[in-house]
Amino acid sequence: MTKAQTGAEALVRSLISGGITTCFANPGTSEMHFVAALDRIPGIRCVLGLQENTVTGMADGYYRVLGRPAATLLHCGPGLANGIANLHNARRAESGIVNITGDHALAHVAYDSPLTTDIAALAGASSDWFHIGTAPEAIGTDAAHSIAAAGTGAGHGRVATLVLPADVSWSEGGEAAAAPERSPLVAPEPAVIREAAAALRGQEKTVIVLGTAGLTRAAHPLIAAIAAATGAEIKSSGMVAVQPRGRDALDIQPVPYPVDLALAALAPFTRVITVGCPLPTAFFLYPGRPSLVTRDGAQHIALSGRDDDAQAALEALAAELGVPVLPLPVRPVSAFTEPEGEITAEGFAETVCGLIPANAIVVNEALTLGTGFPARAGRTEPCDWLHITGGAIGGGLPVATGAAVAAPGRRVITLQADGSAAYTMQALWTQAREGLDCLTLILNNRSYAILVGEYAKVGADPGPTAMDMLSLDRPAIDWVGLAASLGVAGEAVTTLGDLRAAMQGALGRRGPYLIDVRFA
């Protein structure tokens, strides 16, 4: 760059050089020079969110679909804090985000003006990598480093936070940087491949547990071949960012969420091979239950870890085993019934699965009302399921919104528990603003039903104080009215027949829509 430019301009140019084309944003005063630079330098699409947890959740959904990071733009410590819960989910999804957080001018921090926070502590607690900008001359290189840290590819992303002090942004002297060098994924270790192959050839019962990097569509033929040749059981880790599903994909069931079911599911296996995930744990610890849900004393072989090339590892394992790898057969179209009557978990799943269009993206924050899907998701049209990975409630609507931004032309269907939807309802407004093809199904039981179940494990019936904190029916949220107030049309249904008709109508037109699915 020969022309004099501000730090903000150098940053924008560096982001564009690094392949960033989308910025999910909720800016404030400290970010105005950056916004002005986005105005002057074309190349980045800005998508506004009304609250920061929708912004970070959108960036998570975007990465899951495209496998490359978007930028986010947040305002000072409180803006960053508002986005931390979905940054947490993004980290657990191994989604890459270049998280730009504006902050006070460097010289201003010492005066502890009202909006001053411990930005380093907040960035450190919420990010895999962070850096506080120091000068316009360096901010371009800082951006390149943050893009490199954010990574690419399913299961290989990280949250990289770049704090942008206002004076670094507004000062002249900015120097843009070229596209960053990214570290290549680590090639498989032959000894580990041989160990895994030996285990799979042996007599002990073995389960292969797959995380996001091990579950891409490209991996499915390898997994199928290895399972067929060795008799190994295949499971997903249960916290997978993107799982290919439907009739062109392997029908892989997760390690169950309820701890007793998880223990039972894994009890037979004395050997556990993990690919792109850690050993499965109980989500929460419960009295008298273990933290790890694998069989006590089971041998663990980590075929592929956080920075490893899972695809290459599976290829090497298949080669070591000498098994033929063939394209997966696409199963014929499966008939789903058209159930009528009151809405049950089974009937809900049957109805929805029958209507998922080919190439859809299904975002799953269904919680207690999603129990009917695992048995059916292998028979739908080919699609991708995005799960809530980190347990931070309120990921569904923002992730769906970001996925739709990333994938124009693909239909996004969100299975969204009502209690969880309430955390990030603001995302509906961005769906309306951007005209996104997002169909939201609110699974509306007017309670934190998952907590009623958890409370039961405490060993007592909930009394009035507890029920008051677990029920959402005083008042019941009018989800159709709420969506309409934010620009999203919708309707409420109370029967499976009406649900099917409503979904057919919504899928027949463009733009966002919400169906309030009222369970008993």
* Contact code string over 189-208 relative to its own copies, x by CB under 8 A: --------------------
**Smallest gap, in angstroms, from Cβ of residue 381 to its own copies?**
29
Cβ-based nearer residue to its own copies, 211 or 382: 211
Q: What CA–CA distance (Å, rounded) separates 202 from 198?
A: 6
Question: Looking only at residues 473 through 502 of this chain, which bind its own copies when binding is defined by CB under 8 A?
Answer: 474-482, 484-487
Of the candidate spans 62-70, 141-149, 164-172, 304-312, the one that interacts with its own copies by CB under 8 A turns out to be 164-172
* Rg of the chain over all Cα atoms, to the nearest angstrom: 24
Q: What CA–CA distance (Å, rounded) separates 255 from 238?
A: 5
Distance of CA 262 to the CA centre of its chain: 22
Q: What CA–CA distance (Å, rounded) separates 367 from 261?
A: 16
Angle at 182 between CA 176 and CA 183, to 5 degrees: 150
Cβ-based nearer residue to its own copies, 312 or 492: 492
Tell how many helices (H) and how many strands (E) occur in the chain.
20, 17
Candidate residues 389, 401, 416, 447; the one interacting with its own copies per rule CB under 8 A: 389
* Contact code string over 242-281 relative to its own copies, x by CB under 8 A: ------------------------------------x--x
Pair 154, 67: CB distance under 8 Å = yes
Candidate residues 391, 410, 446, 491; the one interacting with its own copies per rule CB under 8 A: 391
Candidate residues 283, 312, 375, 378; the one interacting with its own copies per rule CB under 8 A: 283
**Smallest gap, in angstroms, from Cβ of residue 308 to its own copies?**
18
Q: What CA–CA distance (Å, rounded) separates 251 from 240?
A: 14
Can residue 27 be called a binding residue for its own copies (CB under 8 A)?
Answer: yes
Cβ-based nearer residue to its own copies, 136 or 354: 136
**Smallest gap, in angstroms, from Cβ of residue 198 to its own copies?**
27
Q: Crossing angle of helices 52-66/84-92, nearest 10°?
A: 20
* Contact code string over 415-434 relative to its own copies, x by CB under 8 A: ----x--xx-xx--x--xx-
Number of residues that bind its own copies (CB under 8 A): 102
Can residue 508 be called a binding residue for its own copies (CB under 8 A)?
Answer: no
Can residue 366 be called a binding residue for its own copies (CB under 8 A)?
Answer: no
Pair 359, 351: CB distance under 8 Å = no
SS3 call for 414: strand
Q: What CA–CA distance (Å, rounded) separates 51 from 420?
A: 16
DSSP characters over 416-458 = EEHHHHTTSTTHHHHHHHHT--EEEEEEE-SB-HHHHHHHHHT
Q: Tell me which residue has tokens 């049957």.
A: 350
SS3 track for 300-365? EEEEECCCECHHHHHHHHHHHHCCCCCCCCCCCCCCCCCCCCECCHHHHHHHHHHHCCCCEEEEEE
Cβ-based nearer residue to its own copies, 130 or 356: 130
**Smallest gap, in angstroms, from Cβ of residue 469 to its own copies?**
5
Candidate residues 241, 392, 399, 442; the one interacting with its own copies per rule CB under 8 A: 392
Cβ-based nearer residue to its own copies, 59 or 193: 59
Question: Looking only at residues 77 through 106 of this chain, which bind its own copies when binding is defined by CB under 8 A?
Answer: 77-79, 81-82, 84-85, 88-89, 92, 104-105
Candidate residues 184, 464, 508, 509; the one interacting with its own copies per rule CB under 8 A: 464
**Smallest gap, in angstroms, from Cβ of residue 353 to its own copies?**
26
Cβ-based nearer residue to its own copies, 325 or 450: 450
Candidate residues 167, 320, 350, 381; the one interacting with its own copies per rule CB under 8 A: 167
Can residue 124 be called a binding residue for its own copies (CB under 8 A)?
Answer: yes
Cβ-based nearer residue to its own copies, 294 or 351: 294
Can residue 368 be called a binding residue for its own copies (CB under 8 A)?
Answer: no
Question: Looking only at residues 48 through 77 of this chain, which bind its own copies when binding is defined by CB under 8 A?
Answer: 48, 50-51, 53, 75-77
Residue 326: how many other CB atoms lie within 10 Å: 10
**Smallest gap, in angstroms, from Cβ of residue 410 to its own copies?**
23
* Contact code string over 322-361 relative to its own copies, x by CB under 8 A: ----------------------------------------
Q: What is the dihedral of CA 69, 73, 78, 84, to 10 degrees?
A: -10
Question: Looking only at residues 225 through 244 of this chain, which bind its own copies when binding is defined by CB under 8 A?
Answer: 239
Structural tokens at position 40:
């002057």
Of the candidate spans 121-129, 190-198, 294-302, 371-379, the one that interacts with its own copies by CB under 8 A turns out to be 121-129
Preceding amide of 184 cis, omega within 30: no
Can residue 451 be called a binding residue for its own copies (CB under 8 A)?
Answer: yes
Pair 195, 163: CB distance under 8 Å = no
Can residue 294 be called a binding residue for its own copies (CB under 8 A)?
Answer: no
Q: Tell me which residue has tokens 């091979």.
A: 273
Structural tokens at position 222:
């390898």
DSSP-derived secondary structure letter, 288: T
